[in-house]
Structure 1
């Protein structure tokens, strides 16, 4: 959370100088703006204008790109602020810019988690999940996530405001010890649990169960050559979580402990205030890493991006972004035929 990361007053007697963060933020935000704007606009163009086959995964990816763009559009203001060290854009835009970071970071984690759960259901429970994996339910999940991340963003930006001095105006900076101890520490813990720890555990659980399912010979017969694409999907998702989100959220917890004086140590504070800008910059890169998910886990996205159109699959078999999905009616009919005859009782995870 930008508004949580940049509000640093510290202990006066520790003599900590973290002014390097301004130049670092200026460079990183500039790179993130150019690459994030280009990749996410291109992704939305493909999703909305070129892809013929739109499923639940595509819907989650579309909202993931939107959450990235919300953050990318605020980066020019952040770039100007960190270069000039002056915020001339007013208090309202300061709050919006602070909330946009939360929307991006935790929106990305939640939408990536939705994609992982969708793939898990499709591969491990292909028949039972037919009634769950619908566009209507996907829209409900997306709306719920937007309410969560916007609510979390507003709860933090409520305390964000500009602070004027004789020479400049600051933004995201100057939270008092009382504000941290009374409000921000509790908000931080809630966001960490709901927006990071739970999604991380869900991703790890879904990935492990998908890998276990893929090791079964009967599953290999079902998905064939699509196994490599599923494995690539798992690697990409976990890489984004581990590289972009784990370092930032881990250090954020320690930073909150320092700001509330639960850890009253100059060494710990120096370490936290040095690592915060670095891990924040790494987390910022997720806004143009996310399109890697689209490209490497969706063959239809690749075809739409490279050829200008997505090729239709045969009627009996559809490609569902990472594995072969037998046409639903045929699947259900075959399943009922097997179970109704009392023969060849088949467990769902073996199909």
Structure 2
């Protein structure tokens, strides 16, 4: 959403100077480029070349890594722009760079939500969800998410363009107050609701129901859930979601109110324009933190990363990649055998 909120036109009457953001962005984007490129390329290598187990969670993770890389590949252009405060790459690349940020931020939230829902189904409804948690359904969900985030990105970049002055060309800046009131405010509200508020509520609801299930000793004994491992996954997942996305989207909402003059206060404007660059930088680092989710969500990913081998045998599929482990559950093994008749056995519970 950088292209939505980096515009300062019409806000000079409060005498606010936020030029510190250029140096801040230059440093943060440089670090994010190096770390994000290394970690996500390594993750894709593991998913595509080393992991023999292909299931719905792996598909969500692969799409999450691709979403991160789309953004990472545009960072060198952003680094150049913020260091030199001049955009020489043309209007088309300016639009692509702005759209890539939206694709990354909201794509990450939606794909992380898919992983959270998949974990919820695997733990709370381990057997009844077997017919739902398939690679085909996961593929449909991923396709829908890409349509949503690309549509949102295109709707924003339609208004994003370079602006030339006598000394330099700017990108991600220059929206008028009229444009904010007529178009960008509505787009911002839609993206905030669909891309942030709904995923946040789903993540919190799924995590709370999983925690409630883990408090039942009889259930844990019956399904053989590794409580400590599941708790670690929930903590890591929610930490990345809340730390990276909640501050940014909260400040973005306030910023949009300021830009449309719904909040006409120099104090609020100063606060929003100071906090926005900071929260955006924190949100940018999500492309570096997402591989942590892969590591804690899939034990197969851990094994593939450390040994170069991924055990795709049926017994390891049940034992290692499932929080709802059926290692000692004869009924679960029989159910797995029955339900995987005619389908890839690796498409079952991934945790």
Same fold per TM (> 0.5)?
yes
Shift in Å, 1:298: 1.2
Q: 8 Å contact 1:233–1:322 — kept in the other structure?
A: no
- Contiguous gaps of at least 5 residues in structure 1: 336-351
Q: 8 Å contact 2:122–2:323 — kept in the other structure?
A: no
Q: 8 Å contact 2:102–2:152 — kept in the other structure?
A: yes
Deviations 1:110-167 (A, max 9, x none): 0000000001011101121111000000000000000000000000000000000000
- Contiguous gaps of at least 5 residues in structure 2: 340-351
Pairwise mapping of residues 204-215 of structure 1 onto structure 2 (< 5 A)? Answer: 204-215=204-215
Partner residue, 1:229: 229
Partner residue, 1:110: 110
Partner residue, 1:320: 321
2:129 is paired with a residue whose SS is: helix
Quote the Cα distance in structure 1 between the aligned partners of 2:277 and 2:302.
Answer: 34
Pairwise mapping of residues 198-347 of structure 1 onto structure 2 (< 5 A)? Answer: 198-224=198-224, 226-313=226-313, 315=315, 317-325=318-326, 330-331=334-335
Quote the Cα distance in structure 2 between the aligned partners of 1:118 and 1:161.
Answer: 39
Shift in Å, 1:222: 3.7
Q: 1:264 to 1:227 in 2, by over 3 A?
A: same
1:87 is paired with a residue whose SS is: coil
Q: 1:156 to 1:40 in 2, by over 3 A?
A: same
Quote the Cα distance in structure 1 between the aligned partners of 2:337 and 2:12.
Answer: 72
Q: 8 Å contact 1:227–1:323 — kept in the other structure?
A: no
Partner residue, 2:74: 74
Quote the Cα distance in structure 1 between the aligned partners of 2:232 and 2:142.
Answer: 24
Q: 8 Å contact 1:297–1:322 — kept in the other structure?
A: no
Q: 8 Å contact 1:130–1:328 — kept in the other structure?
A: no
Q: 1:296 to 1:176 in 2, by over 3 A?
A: same
Deviations 1:20-79 (A, max 9, x none): 000000000000000000000000000000001111111100000000000000000000
Quote the Cα distance in structure 1 between the aligned partners of 2:109 and 2:49.
Answer: 26
2:130 is paired with a residue whose SS is: helix
Q: Does 1:87 align with 2:87?
A: yes
Q: 1:302 to 1:315 in 2, by over 3 A?
A: closer
Shift in Å, 1:229: 1.4
Deviations 1:63-116 (A, max 9, x none): 000000000000000000000000000000000000000000000000000000
Quote the Cα distance in structure 2 between the aligned partners of 1:216 and 1:333.
Answer: 27
Q: 8 Å contact 2:87–2:170 — kept in the other structure?
A: yes
Quote the Cα distance in structure 2 between the aligned partners of 1:78 and 1:223.
Answer: 49
Shift in Å, 1:9: 2.3
Partner residue, 1:46: 46
Q: Which moved more, 1:25-34 or 1:322-331?
A: 322-331
Quote the Cα distance in structure 1 between the aligned partners of 2:127 and 2:225.
Answer: 21
Q: 1:149 to 1:314 in 2, by over 3 A?
A: closer
Quote the Cα distance in structure 2 between the aligned partners of 1:39 and 1:321.
Answer: 24
Q: How many residues get paired?
A: 335
Shift in Å, 1:334: 9.7
Quote the Cα distance in structure 2 between the aligned partners of 1:36 and 1:235.
Answer: 22
Partner residue, 2:166: 166
Shift in Å, 1:11: 2.4
Q: 1:209 to 1:225 in 2, by over 3 A?
A: closer
1:129 is paired with a residue whose SS is: coil
Quote the Cα distance in structure 1 between the aligned partners of 2:10 and 2:332.
Answer: 59
Deviations 1:198-236 (A, max 9, x none): 000000000000000011112221454622111111111
Q: 8 Å contact 1:300–1:321 — kept in the other structure?
A: no
CA RMSD of aligned residues (A): 1.8
Quote the Cα distance in structure 2 between the aligned partners of 1:15 and 1:321.
Answer: 56
1:52 is paired with a residue whose SS is: coil
Quote the Cα distance in structure 1 between the aligned partners of 2:21 and 2:320.
Answer: 46
